[in-house]
Structure 1
């Protein structure tokens, strides 16, 4: 009887550990961005599979598109999703939430740049949960013609990063400037490495560059400094990083080469090209990576019929 009890306990323990093991989800969309939210999944962070399923059809905004879907899971387990709703002439971003990634709240269009009516666009909102101040930070790129020196960009393509904060997704702080690095910048993601240690991954959107770099700060809202050199090839965008073991993998859309690339780093100073060591399904366009439980993944597989 004792051996039987031990055996049963061992099986239950193994099952419990397996259920708690984190797996990876990668939010995604396919061009021309009118279908909606897709998800990729991975057990190791290197090799990705496509559910081949639309989880949320876009309804927010005039254009009814969903680009650059960014998602985070809050401390209460709720998933919060934000996305780009239009190329030009759109002053806001889309928002919806879900407890299980299957059933979603009504979609909202957060008209966050209404106080800046000359804004050209609101691109690639990226969501981050600040576990110190217990608030969500949403960062995006906007161009306000004439606000900053054009440099090598024309007035309608000279982007800076802006942000808002919220605790409940009902009230949002007034949009404020998040980062002016002195050049046109888009596609930014905040990462937390440790206590008072944050990294901002972003795209230098100037014509000579159009590739990825990082900067660091002691607070998620900055100020950011210690800008790195550009470490990806030209014509790369949509960087998104996840930690795999002791390494960070920075995925990015190498759109001229029509493939997904990845850079590996441990210190955000030295970067190694891991593009040939990852597999990303064809058609995937940039989103964000988050870790979820095996139970969540299994529920999504059951819902979509994935074996």
Structure 2
């Protein structure tokens, strides 16, 4: 029985015929006060709405849940982080679950408490580093007058930061993850092979606000050789899954209020496959992992109660 494990920051894909798994896409709905919404897919293109909310946000001052990022740990426990405050917060929310129905007590992780002028902590993303057996959490924050900027305001000049953890109880010191010389948010780490990583990046400068890719030999960088954007103007929130030897990148094409997707085998050439995907109405920025048939059946039963 062959088992292939490929870590995409937030996805584990099993090629085991006896244990067929499905894709799971996390989401939220505006105005982000309800909490976690879920969708599932067998083929990675067509998504079934499992409704929600499955977890009502309690962490943070604003009590919202945006950008829920989830990863399945090697212990089959799902770990999730999310944006808790649009502005004014210095941390993100965290909870875990074995079945995506029953959740641990929510925690607020104040990763930027050492920066009193920090404006925000946006879109935390979890990546499991299998080489170091640790989780890397990256996010975007603005610290006014810290970095050079373009025409965006000082309170909208983001850089990426990160912490590492093995147990979501003890965290490393917060460090700068990415400063490409311009405002950047919504980054996603993808492991392509040993010592070969791609970083999907949203250039958040005015008037760009599009998505591109950089490359590195470590999941914490440095990331260089950034290519031209593969998305159009006003796009964000990328997430990735691997299927049939290719990578499928979903992103929120928020300027036109729809979702789009591209296929790539090298993160340099991209094919628009947006006409092949189907997502629930109102689906917003989330990430993709996998679930077992057992977990799926539990979610379907729970959905009937919602």
- TM-score over 0.5 for the pair: yes
SS in structure 1 at match of 2:301: helix
Distance in 1 (CA, whole Å) between partners of 2:18 and 2:96 is: 23
**Root-mean-square deviation (CA), in Å?**
1.2
Question: What is the total number of aligned residue pairs between the two structures?
Answer: 290
SS in structure 1 at match of 2:300: helix
SS in structure 1 at match of 2:296: helix
2:255 aligns to what? 256
Q: Per-residue displacement from partner, 1:59-97 (whole Å, max 9, x unpaired)?
A: 000100000000001111110000000011100000000
Distance in 2 (CA, whole Å) between partners of 1:101 and 1:237 is: 25
Segments of structure 1 that go 5 or more residues without pairing to the other structure are: 1-16
Task: Detail structure 1 runs of 4+ shifted over 6 Å in the superposition.
Answer: none
2:137 aligns to what? 138
Distance in 2 (CA, whole Å) between partners of 1:18 and 1:224 is: 36
> Looking at CA atoms only, which structure, 1 or 2, has the larger radius of gyration?
1
1:6 aligns to what? none
1:50 aligns to what? 49
Normalised by the length of structure 2, the TM-score is 0.93
Q: Per-residue displacement from partner, 1:159-209 (whole Å, max 9, x unpaired)?
A: 000000111111111211000011100001111111111111111001121
Larger helix proportion of the pair:
1
Q: Per-residue displacement from partner, 1:214-263 (whole Å, max 9, x unpaired)?
A: 11111100111121101111000001111111111110001111100001
How many Å apart are 1:19 and its aligned residue? 5.7
Is the counterpart of residue 168 in structure 1 residue 167 in structure 2? yes
SS in structure 2 at match of 1:20: coil
The correspondence of residues 279-290 of structure 1 with structure 2, limited to 5 A, is 279-290=278-289
Distance in 2 (CA, whole Å) between partners of 1:31 and 1:24 is: 23
1:303 aligns to what? 302
Distance in 1 (CA, whole Å) between partners of 2:262 and 2:158 is: 25
Distance in 1 (CA, whole Å) between partners of 2:50 and 2:290 is: 16
Q: Is the 8 A contact 2:25 2:40 kept in 1?
A: yes
Relative contact order higher in (CA < 8 Å, ≥ 6 apart): 2
